[in-house]
Structure 1
Amino acid sequence: MGLFRDETPVDAGLTTGAVARRLGVSPTTLRSWDRRYGIGPAVRPDGRHRRWTPQDVAMVETMCRLTSSGVPTAEAARAAKKGTEEEAPDDWEDGGDPGDAADGAGASAPAPPRSSAPAAPATGSAPPSAADVRQECRGLARAAVRLDAPAVEERLEGVVHRYGVAAAWQEVMVPTLNAVGRKWESSGDRYVEVEHLLSWHVSTVLRRCAPPAGARHEPAVPGPVVLACVPGEQHTLPLEALNAALGQLGLPSRMFGAAVPAEALVAAVDRLGPTAVVLWAQARSTASVPLARHVAAARWGVKGARRRPLVVLGGPGWNGRPAEGMVRPTALGEAVDVLTDLYGRAP
């Protein structure tokens, strides 16, 4: 019978759960790809469950390979539908300025830099096309290299407005930050000021995306989402992006930022009774499994109706670490989907 249930005929196809187990992704990710990009079952017979044919599974396998190699999600979806795994060359890795040093007339546009964590949009906005991504990344990088702060901010606000927080973050902000970081690492101390300026304005624009606290509907139950970097972790931008996306959806959150001491994190969880706790670890050295388990074991409420938070592990530091009973989304869009499901809302 293999991956098929005993009661399922072979020609009926696989369920979403079976495909998720086979490919090592969450059902939420498959549903998100299906809803946003059409990467899903081509035939949906009457009944409660959708079935995946071998052709459908092959398409989503291609999608997984492309996104794992760093191809932006929208571009990977288009390639998967076409049955190809061709990837555009990454000119930014081969020398020149991060903003495309070939500024002369007739110069070809560089392909978008590869991102380590592609994501789907968190809102209903249409995802940017590959051409849009190339243009947005190039324009943003050029403005950053010029240290043109007004232009950087204007471009960042524009991509958020056009594509939504999650798509702007993953398809434009992350690739541009990564490209500038690679140039910094490969050229001595050059471009450090560019990365600092770009990071500052990304943070500024993301914070503007979230509505004022008084404008949010803060239900007494369930509690908010707690967002915190683990002790010793200073990388806050991914959490700021998630906080902005949750804010746009009107979901309650509490952002604690970088390097939150373990005692302070536990105290905040005890005081807030959160629906979920998102722990970010960029480096494996900071990813504390005992801390995550301690937070996951927190309980509150009256006897017989006690609750506990869902622990969401974010960042590459958790790769390969045990995460029983916890969730490890691979992308910002997936994290947003997981959290909105907890509140019973569609993103």
Structure 2
Amino acid sequence: MDEPTGDPGPPEPDTKETAAGGTGMTTGGLARRLGVSPTTLRSWDRRYGLGPAVRADGRHRRWTPQDVAVLEAMCRLTSAGVPPAEAARAAREAAAGTVTHERRAAPEVQNPPRPPAPQVASSAALPADDRPSGSGRRGQAAATLPLGDVRQECRGLARSAVRLDAPAVDSQLTSAVQRYGLAVAWEEVMVPTLHAVGRKWASSGDRYVEVEHMLSWHISTVLRRVTPVSRTGVPDSAPGPVVLACVPGEQHTLPLEALNAGLTEHGMPTRMFGAAVPAEALTAAVRRLGPAAVVLWAQARSTASLPLARHVAATQWGVRGARRHPMVVLGGPGWAGRSAQGMLRPPSLNEALSVLKARYESGVPVG
């Protein structure tokens, strides 16, 4: 996989004494903090006047905390889909308001005014990583993650994740669910960004591990936040809940969390057991709950056990003469290529929701 354009390169000290005796962040250090390239910072300086207040020895840039605050605002706005020129103007205006307030409190502090930002006639004049695209439409890769042809929301989410900007990540994930619904937000915003992080992690050694962990945690948080409480007071004649469990040895729970949220959103009761459920515990839960269906997730072929799936499908409950057993649904790439007669393998979240909803609403027992 290609390396991201404008990689910040070898580390350099984040701060250094300036000619005036203060300290300032270097361009490389600031680029790593924001998750953009030094080339992008120089472009924003040249095009929009978002340059550093201090240039040591007349050449080396040193970014003050005020400069950093302006650029953080710029990054948040562009991640939200605001065109760069408008984002720069808003970031400068917000900074100007802060500076005015500080000057009133301390009149002796004087800062030279920033030059006006040059106007950009069209997005075609921008570097590739600065070109805006329409909200909700598909655009090219963002920041340092190779996203490809994805929704614009992926672009902003990737930039915020690389910057480790937790508030922005949470806000963008919540907004995507509210705008598109859970299933579309999962399949077209969350999953492509997660895959991009995973590919970058695999190709860059241990880099971006922290990005993957933070993004996964926030996706899990948002999925649980939008998950309604399973309905209570279900009649005794209604089918049992849908049981969701990762097979033994499997730790990837996010797809199951998305399915759990979608099922409860549709009014179906669920029991989520999470990662690496022991076979004995899973069998005991099936006998106790009498579920309408059991979803078994396996991310890898090494964890996808057909004997376990067949054992769960054959697990029975009820009185003699009226025994029942669950419908088993296999989820995850680990089951690919496996012959699982009598078990379903829906290819997407929407398909899984449709299959399980139809099964639950039919109320037809599996004999």
Same fold at TM > 0.5: yes
Residue 194 of structure 2 is matched in structure 1 by 177
Cα contact 2:151–2:188 (8 A) shared by 1: no
SS in structure 2 of the partner of residue 155 of structure 1: helix
Give the count of matched residue pairs.
236
Cα contact 1:217–1:251 (8 A) shared by 2: no
Cα contact 1:233–1:281 (8 A) shared by 2: yes
Q: Alignment partner for residue 107 of structure 1, among 109, 122, 127?
A: 127
1:194 aligns with 2:211: yes
SS in structure 1 of the partner of residue 186 of structure 2: helix
Cα contact 2:170–2:218 (8 A) shared by 1: yes
Distance 2:338 2:288 in 1: 28
Deviation at 1:95, TM superposition (A): 2.2
SS in structure 2 of the partner of residue 94 of structure 1: coil
Cα contact 1:216–1:250 (8 A) shared by 2: no
Deviation at 1:133, TM superposition (A): 4.3
Deviation at 1:216, TM superposition (A): 4.9
Q: Alignment partner for residue 279 of structure 1, among 273, 296, 314?
A: 296
SS in structure 1 of the partner of residue 324 of structure 2: coil
Distance 1:270 1:203 in 2: 29
Q: How does 1:127-276 map to 2 (within 5 A)?
A: 129-130=137-138, 133-213=150-230, 215-216=231-232, 218-220=234-236, 221-276=238-293
Q: Calculate percent identity across the aligned residue pairs.
A: 69
1:334 aligns with 2:351: yes
Cα contact 2:137–2:152 (8 A) shared by 1: no
Deviation at 1:211, TM superposition (A): 1.2
Q: How does 1:301-340 map to 2 (within 5 A)?
A: 301-340=318-357
The TM-score normalised by the length of structure 1 is 0.63
Look up the equivalent residue of 1:107 and give its one-letter code: P
Deviation at 1:317, TM superposition (A): 0.6
Q: Output one character per residue of 1:165-221: Cα deviation in whole Å (capped at 9) or x when no partner.
A: 1111111101000101111111121111000000000000001111124x5564432
Question: Using CA pairs below 8 Å that are at least 6 residues apart, which structure has the higher relative contact order?
Answer: 1
Distance 2:285 2:180 in 1: 33
Look up the equivalent residue of 1:258 and give its one-letter code: A
Q: Output one character per residue of 1:43-78: Cα deviation in whole Å (capped at 9) or x when no partner.
A: xxxxxxxxxxxxxxxxxxxxxxxxxxxxxxxxxxxx
User: In the superposition, relative to structure 1, how do residues 316 and 297 fare at CA in structure 2: closer, same or farther (>3 Å)?
Assistant: same
In terms of Rg, which structure is larger? Answer: 2
1:94 aligns with 2:2: yes
Deviation at 1:275, TM superposition (A): 0.2
Residue 79 of structure 1 is matched in structure 2 by none
Deviation at 1:100, TM superposition (A): 7.7
SS in structure 2 of the partner of residue 312 of structure 1: strand
Distance 2:296 2:257 in 1: 12
The two structures, once aligned, show a CA RMSD in angstroms of 2.4
The TM-score normalised by the length of structure 2 is 0.60
User: In the superposition, relative to structure 1, how do residues 140 and 217 fare at CA in structure 2: closer, same or farther (>3 Å)?
Assistant: farther
Q: Output one character per residue of 1:312-339: Cα deviation in whole Å (capped at 9) or x when no partner.
A: 0000111111211100111111100100
Distance 2:167 2:304 in 1: 36
Q: Output one character per residue of 1:274-314: Cα deviation in whole Å (capped at 9) or x when no partner.
A: 00000000010111111100110122223343321110000
Distance 2:343 2:151 in 1: 36
Residue 124 of structure 1 is matched in structure 2 by none
Residue 290 of structure 1 is matched in structure 2 by 307
SS in structure 2 of the partner of residue 293 of structure 1: helix
Distance 2:161 2:153 in 1: 12
Unaligned runs of 5+ in 2: 8-34, 44-83, 85-125, 131-135, 140-148, 363-367
User: In the superposition, relative to structure 1, how do residues 337 and 151 fare at CA in structure 2: closer, same or farther (>3 Å)?
Assistant: same
User: In the superposition, relative to structure 1, how do residues 183 and 267 fare at CA in structure 2: closer, same or farther (>3 Å)?
Assistant: same
Distance 1:201 1:216 in 2: 28
Deviation at 1:146, TM superposition (A): 0.8
